[in-house]
Amino acid sequence: MARLAHWLRLAVLLGVTAMFAFPSQEAAAGVNLPKLERGKGDACVEDTETMRRHHMNMLKHQRDKTMRQGIRTTKHSLKGCVECHAGSHTGSVASAREDFCMACHVYAGVKLDCWNCHATRPADKAPTRVGATPRGETSPILASTLNGASQ
């Protein structure tokens, strides 16, 4: 019985340690929460809490419908996200770590696979940016991989 209690204590200890280990380096180090730039328009397509929790599921669902069936509704499309949330400085959602997607994903230490392929800027506006970072200067892949460690 004592042996069991010993193991239980160890398990609890490990569990608690794991809870502390879970957040990314930044979160664990007590870095301030990311500040997100407000997107265009009055409100997002869903309320903030839903978006925070479920944006990846919506995107994946929409991705398969668009890709495989040619359904091109804009409400949950990645293109729609980019159009509203491209940052005012870079014109992109993921070329600098302040940009909308990166700010949270760097903070949470979750690697993104979207921007290897998808454009991080809305169409047409790309060539006429004033004072913006040229595209490709900061690789979005690199930014997400580094988790901001180098900055």
Partner 1 sequence: MSEPVKQDVHTDPQRREFLKTGALVTGAAVAPGALLYGVAHSRPPEQPASADVRWGMLIDTSKCGDGCSDCVTACNEENGLSGKTGPQDVQYIRKLDIKDLRTGRVHSLPMLCQHCEHPPCVDVCPTGASMRRADGIVRVDQHICIGCRYCMMACPYKARSFQHEPVTNQKPDVPRGMGCVESCTLCAHRVDRDQEPACVEACNANGHRAMLFGDLKDPDSDLARALKAQPSIEVRADLGLNTGVRYQGI
Contact 78, 59 (CB under 8 A): yes
Query: Using the rule CB under 8 A, which residue among 43, 117, 130, 131 binds partner 1?
Result: 117
Whole-angstrom CA distances from 131 to 91, 101, 143 are: 10, 21, 21
* Cβ-based nearer residue to partner 1, 30 or 70: 70
Whole-angstrom CA distances from 12 to 2, 17, 26, 119 are: 15, 9, 25, 45
Give the x/- contact pattern for partner 1 in 57-96, rule: CB under 8 A: ------xxx-xxxxxxxx----x--x--------------
CB atoms under 10 Å from CB of 128, counted, come to 8
Stretch that binds partner 1, among 39-47, 48-56, 98-106, 121-129 (CB under 8 A): 121-129
Binding site for partner 1 (CB under 8 A): 63-65, 67-74, 79, 82, 116-119, 121-123, 135-136, 139, 141
